[in-house]
Amino acid sequence: MPKDTKNCRILEPEYESMSREKLEALQLERLQETVKHVYENVPMYKERMDALGVKPEDIKSLSDITKLPYTDKPDLRDHFPDGLFAVPRKEIVRIQGSSGTTGKPIVSGYTQNDIDVWTNMVARALAEAGCTDEDTIQVTYGYGLFTGGLGVHQGASKLGATVIPMSSGNTQRQIMMLKELGATMVCCTPSYATLLGETIREMGIDPSELKLKSGCFGAEPWTSEMRDNLESLLDFNAFDIYGLTEIGGPGVAFECRERCGLHVNEDHVIAEIINPETGEHMPDGETGELVFTTITKTGQPMIRYRTHDLCTLTREKCACGRTTARMGRITGRSDDMIIVRGVNVFPSQIESVIVGMEGVAPHYMLIVDRKNSSDTLEVQIELKEELVSDTVSHVEELRNKITEQIKSVVGVMAKVTIVPPKTLPRFEGKARRVIDNRKL
């Protein structure tokens, strides 16, 4: 549980805590409308549904969703920029995009309805993190095509909070503003929040000199070890927030005070878990690929969008009072998984070993290569400042300990390299911690 849950609240109990029966009836009604809307207005969906022999009127129950075709990232690229818009261009009031660095960007068109829906989803997440009109929130996600900055900005404004639209970067200035303007909340990627926390400590500022009480962090996978580390650095509560551009941005799901998964805003999206290899629907509780269908978006609705994010789903009622499905923390993206000598390795597994371990900083890089037709994995970890003057044998002991733990958690032997403090890259946005030289 977070330390302080005084202001944590359910913003819209009429939706967030409605009975599963009513929620599922609402989902079905909205799904039927959405399917009709895309069939009539998006040629790609009409062609795909026709090819599968499915008509909008065939969607009679929620389980009929499995009759519908999937959508995947290449579909967005192939129809860039507006081939998947379901309304005339004049009804689109905003275009946002993903932070991808290669090829054509993934963009999504929003009607005013879609912006309102998205704003509400983020407002629910922030309200659960304790945000009220008494709060000042420093938004340190990037502003621009990326949905982080504007998304959190809109949600916080809806709650009447004072917003400081800092955008990302310029750590010293961020800290000066945190101090001078007295933000009670900060929102950015967990890796950047860690950097902020470390820099605050290095500047000799005690967290009690700041007014920070909580923040919503997401846009990249992070572990509970990373959260513990962040909370102790800044002496506040860190909540997880999840989302993706194609489905609307941050706020698709968010963590509550119970810390047992992220509540999916199920009155706006339907979540499924599928087997990433076969595409088959999987039962609740099993780990697989998360798939979303938007049911209130009108500008660019998405039918069974494959996120490539791996997690579990549960629909059991949560102790916080919400009835909405919860997704487990994302353990990785199926396309982020590295296969080393036949073993599947997720960066989050390495993170869970390293972060919180005595003597090393919570920064790491994975370098994969192929030597003499065999894969190699090198894990670079930073030594903590206070251990720099330690004996060689002590550092060697630490290295052996980490090597062993990685072997037992991940199942592969990695070469562990301990590097001097502050030599590994830091990230202002999403962290990129894997270098796979095999693809070059």
Q: Give the x-and-dash track for 325-344 against ligand DLL (CB under 6 A).
A: -----x--x-----------
Considering beta carbons, is residue 11 or 330 the nearer one to ligand DLL? Answer: 330
Residue ranges in 292-321 that form contacts with ligand DLL under rule CB under 6 A: 307, 309
Return d(Cα 212, Cα 214) in angstroms, integer: 6
Residue ranges in 137-166 that form contacts with ligand DLL under rule CB under 6 A: 141, 146-148
Considering beta carbons, is residue 245 or 324 the nearer one to ligand DLL? Answer: 245
Q: Are 322 and 197 in contact (CB under 8 A)?
A: no
Among 198, 240, 272, 289, binds ligand DLL (CB under 6 A): 240
Residue 241 within binding range of ligand DLL, rule CB under 6 A: yes
Q: Which helix (H) or strand (E) holds 249?
A: strand 249-255
Q: Are 276 and 308 in contact (CB under 8 A)?
A: yes
Return d(Cα 219, Cα 140) in angstroms, integer: 12
Q: Which stretch binds ligand DLL (CB under 6 A): 113-121, 245-253, 314-322, 418-426?
A: 245-253
Task: Show the 3-state SS of 176-219.
Answer: HHHHHHCCCEEECCHHHHHHHHHHHHHCCCCHHHCCCCEEEEEC
Q: Is 236 left (phi over 0), alpha (psi -120 to 50) or beta?
A: beta
CB closest to ligand DLL, residue no: 218
Helices (DSSP H) in 346-391: which residue ranges? 347-354
Return d(Cα 120, Cα 155) in angstroms, integer: 6
Q: In the complex, what is the shortest distance from the CB of residue 244 to ligand DLL, in angstroms, rounded to a whole number?
A: 4
Considering beta carbons, is residue 222 or 236 the nearer one to ligand DLL? Answer: 222
Residue 218 within binding range of ligand DLL, rule CB under 6 A: yes
In 73-198 the beta strands, taken as DSSP E runs, fall at: 94-97, 107-110, 136-139, 162-164, 185-187
Considering beta carbons, is residue 230 or 241 the nearer one to ligand DLL? Answer: 241
Neighbouring C-beta atoms of residue 398, cutoff 10 Å: 21
Radius of gyration for the chain, computed over Cα atoms and rounded to the nearest angstrom: 22
Residue 130 CA to its chain's centroid (Å): 19
User: Which residue carries 């290449």 as its tokens?
Assistant: 74
Residue 130 within binding range of ligand DLL, rule CB under 6 A: no
Considering beta carbons, is residue 111 or 223 the nearer one to ligand DLL? Answer: 223
Q: In the complex, what is the shortest distance from the CB of residue 301 to ligand DLL, in angstroms, rounded to a whole number?
A: 16
Considering beta carbons, is residue 85 or 242 the nearer one to ligand DLL? Answer: 242
Q: Give the x-and-dash track for 247-276 against ligand DLL (CB under 6 A).
A: --xx--------------------------
Report the candidate in 244, 291, 242 with the shortest Cα–Cα distance to residue 270.
Answer: 291
Residue 108 within binding range of ligand DLL, rule CB under 6 A: no
Among 39, 236, 242, 364, binds ligand DLL (CB under 6 A): 242
For the chain, counts of helices (H) and of strands (E): 11, 21
Q: In the complex, what is the shortest distance from the CB of residue 59 to ligand DLL, in angstroms, rounded to a whole number?
A: 26
Q: In the complex, what is the shortest distance from the CB of residue 239 to ligand DLL, in angstroms, rounded to a whole number?
A: 10
Q: In the complex, what is the shortest distance from the CB of residue 328 to ligand DLL, in angstroms, rounded to a whole number?
A: 10
Chain residues in the site for ligand DLL (CB under 6 A): 98-99, 141, 146-148, 218-221, 240-245, 249-250, 307, 309, 330, 333
